[in-house]
Amino acid sequence: MGKYIINGDKRLVGEVSVSGAKNAVLPILAATIVGGNRSTIFNTPNLRDVDIMEKILLSIGCKVERMDNIMYVDSRNLSSTNIPDELVREMRSSIILMGSMLARCGETTVSYPGGCEIGPRPIDLHLKALRQMGAEIDESHGFLYCCCKELKGCEIQLDYPSVGATENTILAAVRAKGTTIIRNAAREPEIIDLQNYLNKCGGKVSGAGTSIIRVEGVDKFEDVEYTIMSDRIVTGTYMAASAITGGEVVVKNIETNHIQAIVAKLKEAGCLIYNDNSSLKVIGPEKINCIEMTQTLPYPGFPTDMQAQMMALLSIANGTSIISETVFENRFKHSDELIRMGANIKIIGKVAIIKGVKELTGAKVTSKDLRGGASLVLAGLKAKGTTEVEDIFHIERGYEDLDKNLRKLGADIVKIE
C-alpha cells in the first residue's frame, strides 16, 4: 500500500508547479468516448484514478497511448459496452461513463461505483436525469443495466447541484435529439473545462459555470487537442502546506479565479497572499489565527475537498475554530488520526470543533480517503518528531509526486513502497 515517513517542523520555501486537475481530466476522458473521434489530451496528471480510467477505456476497445503528461485516445472502434466491475469499484467518478456510453452506444452495464468512503453519495440524480432523457435503467444485483432507443433532449431540474449528475447529463445530452436544458446545474470550473473540450470537438454546450446549462445535440465530432485546467484542490493543498509550516511558497501554473474561497480563508488564518493570473505566493504566519466558521458549500463556496486540509491547519491555531461539512455526511474520518497526533477535535454530527494546540507530535496514522490523507501529510510537516502516513494509495489518487514536490520545498519526506 505504501507509506510516507515525514520528519516534521521544517519550514517550506520555494516554488511548486501544479499539475492538471483530477476532477477535470476524468470526465473529459469519459467524454472521449462520445464522439468516436481521436483526442490528444495535454496536462494529464499522473494519478492512480487516471490509470484506472485508462484501463476502462482500453477494456471497451479504445486505443490509448501515454507519454509523460500527454494522453492520446482513439475511440472510433469500441468493442464492448460493459464497464469492468473491478475497475468501477475502485473509482467513484467512473459513474459518468453511463452518460457517455448511452450517448454513443445506446446501452451499457456498470456496477455501483466505489472510491473514497466519505459517506453516502447517491446516484439517484444521475439516474433520474438519464431516465428523463429516455434511458431505461434496471438496477439489480449491484449492477445498473442501461439502454435506450434514442436519447431525447428535455428540461431537467436537478434537486441538488451535483457535479457528477451535471456532467453525466451533459455527456448524455451532447448527442441526444434536440435540446437539453439543465437547471440548478453545478457551477464548478471543471464543468467549464468539460464544456470547452466538447465544444472544441464540435459539441454545442453553453452556460457551464452558471446554474443553467443548455446542450444542443449534434451528430458529428472532430478530432481534437485539448489542455486540462490546473488542479485547484492541489493548489489549495500546497497553499495550506506553506501556511501550516510558516513557509514562503510560490504556487505556479494555477487559475487564481478558481481558488478565491480558499484564499479568503487562508487570509483569515493570518497568511499573506500575493498573486497574479497564473501564480501566487503564500507566506504563513508565526501563529495561525482561529477561524470562527468554515462551511463547505458547492462552488463558488469553500470546497469540501479542502475541508480536511483546513482542519489540519486549524488544529494548531490560536483559539477555537468550527468547520461545518454540508456536502458529504461522513467526511471527518481524518479527525481521529489528527487526534492521534495531539489535535483537540470534537465531532458533533456534521460539525467539527477544533481547539488549537501548541504543537502536534509525530505518530503512525492511516490515510482513509484522498483529502483526509493529504491533511495527515500537512500535519506531519508541522509535527515534532516522525510521522508515518500509511495507505497512501488514497493520496496518490489525486496528487502527482506529492513527496517529490514537498522535498523540493524543503520537507523531510520519503515514500516507502
Q: Is 349 exposed, middle or buried (0-12, 13-18, 19+ CB in 10 A)?
A: exposed
For CATH 3.65.10.10, list the domain ranges present in the chain: 3-19+230-416, 22-227
Q: Tell whether 92 is in a known binding site.
A: yes
- Looking at domain 22-227, its CATH class is alpha beta
Q: Tell whether 406 is in a known binding site.
A: no
Sign of the alpha-carbon dihedral angle for 57, 58, 64, 66: positive
Q: Tell whether 51 is in a known binding site.
A: no
Q: Rg of the Cα trace of the chain?
A: 21
Write down the pLDDT at residue 121: 52
Q: Tell whether 276 is in a known binding site.
A: no
Catalytic residues: 116
Integer Cα distance of 72 and 106 in angstroms: 24
Q: Tell whether 298 is in a known binding site.
A: no
Write down the pLDDT at residue 114: 56
Q: Residue 365 carries which side chain, given as an amino acid letter?
A: V
Low-confidence ranges of the chain (pLDDT < 70): 114-122
Integer Cα distance of 87 and 132 in angstroms: 28
**Residues with Cβ within 8 Å of residue 85, at least 6 apart in sequence:** 111, 143
Question: Element (H or E) spanning 365, and its range?
Answer: strand 364-366
Q: Tell whether 305 is in a known binding site.
A: yes
Integer Cα distance of 310 and 308 in angstroms: 5
**Residues with Cβ within 8 Å of residue 207, at least 6 apart in sequence:** 185, 213, 214
Write down the pLDDT at residue 183: 98
pTM of the full predicted structure? 0.96
Q: Tell whether 124 is in a known binding site.
A: yes
According to DSSP, residue 93 is labeled G
Other C-beta atoms closer than 10 Å to the C-beta of 74 total: 18
- Looking at domain 3-19+230-416, its CATH class is alpha beta
E-strand ranges in 242-342 read 248-252, 272-275, 279-283, 294-295, 320-324
Q: Is the peptide bond before 300 cis (omega within 30 degrees of 0)?
A: yes
CA distances from 333 to 192, 307, 311, 375 (A): 31, 12, 11, 11
CB distance 143 to 184 below 8 Å: no
Pinpoint the alpha helices (H) of 19-177. Answer: 22-31, 48-59, 85-88, 97-105, 124-132, 163-173
Question: Element (H or E) spanning 71, and its range?
Answer: strand 70-74
